Structure 1
Amino acid sequence: MLTADGREMDLATKVGQLFVVGFDGTEPTDDLRTLITDRQCGNVVYFGRNIESPDQVATLTDRLRRLILEEGAGVPPFVMADQEGGVVSRLGWGTTLPSQMCLGASADPELARAAGEAVAAELATLGINVNLAPVLDVNNNPRNPVIGVRSFGEDPDLVGDLGAELAMGMQANGVVACGKHFPGHGDTSTDSHHELPVVEHDRDRLAAVEFAPFRRAIEAGIDAIMTTHVSFPAIADSPSTPATVSPAVQRRLLRDELGFDGLIVTDGMEMRAIADTIGTPAGCVRALEAGCDLLLVCHTPETQAAAIDAVIDAVESGRLDEARIDAAVERILRFKRRRLGASRPPSAARWAETADRSREVGRAIAARGITLVRDRDDTLPLTTERPLHLIGSSSGRSSPAEDDEFEPTLLADSLAAAGFDVTCHEVADRSDLPSVEAGTQVIATVDGAMADESRAAVVRTLDDRRQRFAAVVVRNPYDLSAVPDVSTAVSMYDYTRATRTALGEVLLGETTATGRLPVTVPELAD
């Protein structure tokens, strides 16, 4: 195997191609430079901590690409990001698309394809050539703390169809799509960022539900699939083995049975489901043994260096066959040639040319996805001729995977822009509720009500006051199970600019909410 400038790859250079590393800050750090120059690390991943502006990201990507080509391995890098839409979007400049569950509520494959094309066009102009999306998990567990609105919904066919269209839209614009999290993180009640979840379903159920969207995406030609750090006793090598390091899952199921010949990418190897059980360096060795190609080590320079060294040591000791490394590198280079060969230099000016299309697609998704769950008392539409009180509280992230935290003032500002005379009240519980005049228009944001009874109690109290009241479910529609009898409820699925604007239009009666809940909410009254 040769580098881009014709040099033969030694073992260290080949191992460096297998690693994708994250770093702190908005410029290359000394630690990152050392990983690139001394350990030949060949790929990077961006998080919110690396992102400031389109111009900054374009400049950063160009600097990293030059560094890797001129002082590192000499092979163009994969530059990755999680730009799923909604609550997991690293680039948040007003063009962020609504969440996948909002797309699921629209049930529109053409919109999914347009979403893939739009997000890929943005990413490509900034030199980001791998999008760690779509999420192909079937979310059928209301208590799932990490997937939720990141999923299209609970129907495997819907998830597969929309996921395949989203992926093909991305790849049509030259960006690698990476479906996740194989073989499925949708039916867990714990978060693999914190511990090792276990899915106890038998093989037949897994094949019918969890595997189905991945099978559909593979048939469509998806480039990459990300593993999950979840244990599946029915299919893994042992009941305590995370799928990421299981040859039975990665080689025998994904490669041999499902016929996937693309890139297998691990989820972050510093997540506690790996770090606290196997350990990150040992986990990286075992992931390669299982059949993975690319290893994400996203946070700690010392751990990144130790993981690279552990893989080299495993080859030199004979534990890991160098032919396994060669096969992974050959696959990586194949996809780099396929997707990176015609890429243009990063440019914030070219990004600006793509932004309007993303905003247009985002508005279309929000308009089709926002869902009027119930309006029992014909509360809607509201009017701008009377005051509107918005009542809610700030919410924390439900998982480290998410980005921004919701603030009620975000929604208040959007409703004010729609023409409402809004007063925003941030409340912790019922004791903080303001007094408002009879007949006043009142909206309560519902976010985290399943996990916090005090938030649910606020909604129930407001609903009982017989004002013109509507509950707005900001993120997770499962929160309605905590207030199942609420008289009027609208589900947004995220708090992007597009969905906040669409909410105002629905509340005013300017548009009709046509979305349908893509998940079943327990206890929700008819």
Structure 2
Amino acid sequence: MPSRRTLLAATAGVTAALAVGNSAYSLGSDDEALRSLVSRMTLPEKVGQLFVVRFYGHSATAPDQADIDANLREIGVRTAAELVAKYRVGGVIYFTWTHNTRDPRQIAELSNGIQRASLDQPRGLPVLIATDQEHGAVCRIGRPAALFPGAMAIGAGGSTADARTLGRISGAELRAMGVRQDYSPDADVNVNPANPIIGVRSFGADPHAVGALVAAEAQGYREAGVAATAKHFPGHGDTAVDSHTGFPVITHSRELWEKLDAVPFRAAIRASIDSIMTAHIQFPALDGSGDPATLSHPVVTGILRGELGYDGVVVTDSLGMAGVRTKYGDDRVPVLALKAGVDQLLDPPDLDVAWHAVLKAVQDGELTESRLDESILRVLRLKSRLGLLDRPFVDTKDVRRVVGTAGHLAAADRVAERTTTLLVNEDDVLPLSPRTHGTVLVVGADPASPSGTTGPPTGVLAAALTELGFTARALSTGTDPSAETIDSAVAAAGGSDAVVVGTYNVTAGGGQRKLVEQLVGTGRPVVVVAVRNPYDVAQLPMVKACLASYSWTDVELRAAARVIAGRVVPRGSLPVPVQRADDPARVLYPIGHGLTYRTRASDRS
């Protein structure tokens, strides 16, 4: 039996070979070294290599007791080290809610512990560690890491250079912590304002603009030595159902799919994207069987592999989501996904059931061992290109030198300043001045904060405005304020020179709209900051000043505060159209709308 040192030595030079040329998949003779690794694996080891799994705990060997209990309950092992040893998994995924991401140095030590646990096994191979670090509304690793604006904000900035900077800096920080695969960027074209799961996670509604930004961000990650992931194929941008909780159906024709949804994925493939994630959606024009795309051979093998020519790693979205579990049981889903053509099985709800189901499918002849070998080889190619096969560990001393540096934080702030979008500025309400609007009341919805933010949006905005010379105080009013809450906010506004309102998914008859109406009625200048979807402005025709920040993270809210104070001129423009609330067939503000100071919002249609 060859030692770990012998196995790793057998792949020497492969990483360098993979870095040559524009394509990540032109391997030449060095591919034989990877095939040799696959040939030495037992069938159970091969099955394990297909899975990317979650676990609880901040340490690979010594998690807190509550996390040990959760691991035993959900996975049947105590620790991540035991998980790797028992199932020989090829990848793991970090989440905040599984307590994997306390701080950067801890994450680096956790990553090293996982690699050590895997490499200590016979024929052990390094683990591909992944996370969802999209920035904006979805982040798993928070402060002190550099956090950038999310995708729709980047779309509002419209700069491929900024998208590439995001990928390069975020990738460098992830790599320093031992994370080599990021499930970002989102390649969905968000054309449905009611989309409950994509929305601001998308760069926008113009497929070519989305494609350019997807490719640029992926290039940045590639330069940093981290695998980017375009998601969610074949396109999740026109759904009104969340695939976490339901089974969405996309009604686009094949022709519309080619013109809309496919464009960013084609751009990602041209940019040699390292991995593509499938969507748990039904797309009848692409496959009439009623199967989710994740389990569809016509979609994954026929279109993605065949028509689009993609031979990189295909990873499923989480197999615990309702969209992939509606039609088949948890024992069938991983088998059908592999038959469809995917390579990595992400986060099954019951790993033991899924692992044994794949093993049995091979033993019974439903799946061939050679089919598994195809996927394992693709994953090994990726691990090799990333340097994992000969450099699996990270130096924890690099964490402080790389993660959250002053230069990285300043870059994130500069990018954010180019994304804030001024939608309305009647009567030149903005900018506010501390000389004439010294006291500012900040009220708002205060949704749950993304990972790493310093507090609720109202508090962050108030603190940022105070630093800019105002005397600002925060009052949380919730996403559906009651009459009593609205009365309290109106009373507080009476003692202020101006009011800033953070809105979050305003509805026609909801409390947030009533709050804004009554605050406008006080006669005080009212500035609305839509802290998630820019579509809020359509529900608020009474406001004279409205900004879109596209998320409620610190970096975006601080940028919005600088725009409010006139320290930064707004430069963002809408990457999605905003329809009229009273007539959704008509556009209120088109793609590209964005004001600067002393420009009136006279283009309401």
Q: TM-score range by the shorter chain?
A: over 0.9
Match of 1:394 in 2: 446
The answer for the alignment partner of 2:64 in structure 1 is none
Q: Which has the higher contact order (CA 8 A, sep 6+)?
A: 1
How far apart in 1 are the matches of 2:504 and 2:395? 37
The partner residue of 2:536 within 468, 476, 479 is 479
**Which residue matches 1:513?**
570
Who is 2:46 aligned against?
A: 14
TM-score when normalising by structure 2: 0.82
Contact 2:142/2:451 (<8 A) preserved: no
Shift of 1:2: 8.8
Distance in 1, matches of 2:396 and 2:362, equals 42
Distance 1:100 1:429 in 2: 33
**Is 1:169 matched up with 2:201?**
no
Matching of residue 39 in structure 1 with residue 87 in structure 2? yes
Question: Residue 257 in 1 paired to residue 307 in 2?
Answer: yes
1: CA distance, partners of 2:132 / 2:126? 20
2:351 corresponds, among 280, 304, 307, to: 304
Secondary structure, counterpart of 1:87 in structure 2:
coil
Question: In structure 2, what is the equivalent of residue 431 of structure 1?
Answer: 484
- Which amino acid counterpart does residue 16 of structure 1 have in structure 2? G
1:441-483: CA deviations, max 9, x gaps?
A: 1111111213871112212222233311110111111222322
Show the counterpart of 2:556. Answer: 499
Give the residue type in structure 1 aligned to 2:201.
R
The answer to whether residue 234 in structure 2 is matched with residue 183 in structure 1 is yes
- Give the AA of the match of 1:329: I
Q: Partner of 1:146 in structure 2?
A: 197
SS of the residue 1:280 aligns to: coil
Q: Is the 8 A contact 1:36 1:72 kept in 2?
A: no
Relative to structure 1, is the Cα distance of residues 129 and 20 closer, same or farther in structure 2, using a 3 angstrom cutoff? Answer: same
Identity %: 35
| Inter-partner Cα distance in structure 2 for 1:460 and 1:134 | 37
Q: Relative to structure 1, is the Cα distance of residues 413 and 336 closer, same or farther in structure 2, using a 3 angstrom cutoff?
A: same
Deviates more, 1:501-510 or 1:210-219: 501-510
Count of aligned residue pairs for this structure pair: 519
Q: Do residues 353 (structure 1) and 401 (structure 2) align?
A: yes
Q: Which amino acid aligns with 1:180?
A: K
Say which is worse superposed, 130-139 or 90-99, in terms of deviation.
90-99
Q: Which amino acid aligns with 1:326?
A: D
| Equivalent position amino acid for 2:482 in 1 | D
How many Å apart are 1:3 and its aligned residue?
8.7
User: How does 1:97-496 map onto structure 2 within 5 Å?
Assistant: 97-238=148-289, 240-297=290-347, 300=349, 303-341=350-388, 343=391, 345-354=393-402, 355-356=404-405, 357-385=407-435, 386-396=438-448, 406-427=456-477, 428-432=481-485, 433-435=489-491, 436-437=493-494, 440-450=497-507, 453-496=510-553
Task: Measure the CA separation in 1 of the matches of 2:260 and 2:429.
Answer: 38
Q: Could you say which residue in structure 1 is the equivalent of 2:18?
A: none
2:17 counterpart residue number: none
* Contact 1:40–1:72 under 8 Å retained in 2: no
- Which residue is 2:74 aligned to? none
Q: Does 1:54 align with 2:111?
A: no
- The AA in structure 2 aligned to 1:325 is L
Cα contact 1:134–1:167 (8 A) shared by 2:
yes
**How far did 1:500 drift?**
2.0
Whether the 8 Å CA contact 2:440–2:496 is kept in 1: the answer is no
Q: Aligned equivalents of 1:63 and 1:109: distance in 2?
A: 36
For 2:515 and 2:424, locate their aligned partners in 1 and report how far apart those are by CA, in whole Å: 19
Shift of the 451–352 alpha-carbon distance from structure 1 to 2, 3 Å rule, reads farther
Q: In 2, distance between residues paired with 1:370 and 1:307?
A: 45
How big is the alpha-carbon RMSD for the aligned residues of Structure 1 and Structure 2? 2.2
1:348: Cα distance to partner?
Answer: 4.5
- Matches of 2:524 and 2:45 in 1, distance apart? 67
Post-superposition CA distance 1:305-351 (Å, at most 9, x none): 11011000000001112211011111111111111346463244423
Change (3 A) 1:482 1:280: farther
Distance 1:180 1:469, change over 3 A: same
Gap change, CA 1:66 and 1:438, over 3 Å in 2: closer
SS, match of residue 499 in structure 2: strand
Are 2:136 and 2:148, in contact at CA under 8 Å, matched by a contact in 1?
yes
Residue 120 of structure 2 aligns to a residue in which SS?
A: helix
Contact 2:176-2:399 within 8 A present in 1 as well: yes
Report the residue type matching 2:93 in the other structure. V
Task: Give the 3 Å change call, closer, same or farther, for CA 264–2 of structure 1 in structure 2.
Answer: farther
Q: CA deviation at 1:159?
A: 0.5
- Look up the SS of the partner of 2:231 in the other structure: strand
Measured after TM superposition, the shift of residue 495 of structure 1 is 2.1
User: How far apart in 2 are the matches of 1:259 and 1:3?
Assistant: 37
Q: Distance in 2 between matches of 1:214 and 1:178?
A: 10
2:24 is aligned to: none
Deviation at residue 485 of structure 1 after TM alignment: 4.4
Cα shift at 1:25? 2.3
Query: 3-state SS of the aligned residue for 2:187?
Result: coil
Q: 1:507 to 1:52 in 2, by over 3 A?
A: same
Determine the C-alpha separation between the residues in 1 that align with 2:397 and 2:463: 29
Give secondary structure in 1 for the equivalent of 2:443: strand
Deviations 1:109-152 (A, max 9, x none): 11111111000000000110001100000011000111111110
SS at 1:122 equivalent: helix
Tell whether the 8 Å contact from 1:54 to 1:348 is kept in structure 2 after alignment.
Answer: no
Aligned twin of 2:595: none
Q: Which runs of 5+ in 2 are unaligned?
A: 8-36, 61-67, 69-77, 581-587, 590-603
Change (3 A) 1:344 1:333: closer
Q: In structure 2, do the counterparts of structure 1 residues 191 and 308 end up closer, same or farther at CA, with 3 Å as the change threshold?
A: same
Q: Using structure 1 for the length normalisation, give the TM-score.
A: 0.94
Tell me the distance in 1 between the aligned counterparts of 2:259 and 2:3.
43
